[in-house]
Amino acid sequence: MRFTIPQFIEHEAKVVGPLTFRQFIFVGIAGAIGFVLYFTLPFSLFLLASIFLGGGAVALAFLKIGGRDLPTVLGNSLKFLTSPKMYIWRKKETLVAVFEKEKPASAKATADKEELPLKIAEKSQLKKLRTQIETKTK
């Protein structure tokens, strides 16, 4: 009995409860910033800032777009936006060298005399066989 064996499995270890280290860092930094904002801002501004901060942290930690996590998507987007966009295609002119195998002088003389015209194959018998099978004749 054959079984398919999964390959290319990437599994990040769970460090803190159900969170990986990367997820924990995103949520932990947002929590630390929220803690500082609690003591520095009025409560209404703290609430508004913590909602945005927490939403961003959760999105960075858990959101996947097209099978890729959000920090990777954002990094690729930034790289695309900052890279040059002009692509010019120029066909490279390459010389094609054709080498013929040299024949000995005696072989050349006999090859010229014995050169036969190309054989043209007869029509395929498949069409004839198909017709015979369809009409059930022999």
Residue 41 lies in a domain: yes
Residue 100 lies in a domain: no
Residue 2 lies in a domain: no
Classify residue 124 by its DSSP letter.
P
Find, among 46, 44, 72, 43, the residue nearest to 60 by Cα. 72
Find, among 10, 125, 112, the residue nearest to 68 by Cα. 10
Residue 116 lies in a domain: no
Q: What band does 72 get if pLDDT is binned at 50, 70 and 90?
A: very high
The angle that helices 43-62 and 21-40 make with each other, rounded to 10 degrees, is 170
Residue 35 has pLDDT above 60, yes or no: yes
Total domains, the chain: 1
pTM over 0.85? The answer is no
Residue 92 lies in a domain: no
User: Which tokens is 71 given?
Assistant: 């920090």
| Structural domain boundaries, residue 31 | 14-82
Residue 33 lies in a domain: yes
Residue 119 lies in a domain: no
